[in-house]
Amino acid sequence: MSSQDNDQLTDHEYDGIREYDNPLPNWWLMTFFGTVIFAFIYWLHYEVGGGPSLKAELNQAMLALQAHKQQAVVKELSEADLETMLKDPQMAAAGALAFTGKCAACHGPELQGGIGPNLTDAFWLHGKGTREDIMHTIQKGVPDKGMPPWESMLSQNEILSLTALIVSKQDTNPAGAKPPQGEKVR
Ligand code: HEC
C-alpha cells in the first residue's frame, strides 16, 4: 500500500488519467502569502507613501555622523589657549607614547622624517609650524599626500599631546634628519 492510497482523488478524468489532490504544504503557503503581504506593505510604504530611499537614509546617517564628529572634534583653540594647555610636560610625554604607536613609522622615532617630513626642523609644508597649524594638520591630514587624518581615530587629548610633543622637539636636530621640505619659518 503506497501512501497515495490515502490521498484524495479529484474527480477530474482526462482520457482515463486521474489526478490526486495534493495541496501545497501549509508552511509553503504561509511563506508565499507572507511574501505577498510583505511586498504589498513595502510597495505601499516606499512607492505610494514616499518612504525614504536607501540613498536618503544614507544621507541622513552621514549627516548624523558629521554632526557627531563636529561635536567630538576639538573646537578651534587659539594659539594662546594651546600654549597654556600644552605647557604641562606630561602632555609631551603622553604624546611620545602615541607618536611611537601611530606616527613613528612615517615620521621616524625621533621625528627626523622618513616617508613623512622631518617634524623637528624650521621648514613646514602646511602652515608655519604654530601649535594651531600642527594640530590642524594632525586632525585633517593631507590625504592626497599620504598623511592620514587623525581626528576620528585619536581622542582630542591624544591630538593635543602629539602637538605638544612636536612643539617640544623643535630644533632637536635628530640624527639622520630628512632634508628640509616646505617653507622656512624661523
Ligand atoms: C602613512 C604615513 C604617515 C603617518 C602614519 C603619519 N604621517 Fe604625518 N605626514 C605624512 C606625510 C607624507 C606628510 C607630508 C604631507 C605633504 O607632503 O603635504 C605628513 C605631514 C605631517 C605634518 C605636517 C608637516 C609639515 O611640514 O607641514 C605633521 C604635523 C604630521 N604629519 C604629524 C603626524 C602625526 C602627529 C602623526 C601620528 C598621529 C602622523 N603624522 C602620522 C605621512 C604620515
Atom of ligand 1 nearest to the CA of 126: 27
pLDDT at 70: 67
182: confidence class by pLDDT, cuts 50, 70, 90: very high
C-alpha cell at 36: 505577498
Q: How far apart are CA 136 and CA 151, in angstroms?
A: 9
- Best mean pLDDT range from 13-22, 81-90, 96-105: 96-105
The pLDDT tens digits for 126-153 are 999 999 999 999 999 999 999 999 999 9
Cβ(21)–Cβ(29) below 8 Å: no
134 lines ligand 1 (CB under 6 A): yes
Specify the higher pLDDT residue, 116 or 7.
116
Cβ(133)–Cβ(83) below 8 Å: no
Atom of ligand 1 nearest to the CA of 99: 37
Nearest CA to ligand 1 atom 43: 147
Is the confidence at residue 5, as pLDDT, over 60? no
Output the average pLDDT for the chain.
Answer: 90
74: confidence class by pLDDT, cuts 50, 70, 90: low
What is the Å distance from ligand 1's center to 98 Cα? 14
Q: What is the mean pLDDT of residues 163-169?
A: 95
Cβ(125)–Cβ(175) below 8 Å: no
1: confidence class by pLDDT, cuts 50, 70, 90: very low
161 lines ligand 1 (CB under 6 A): no
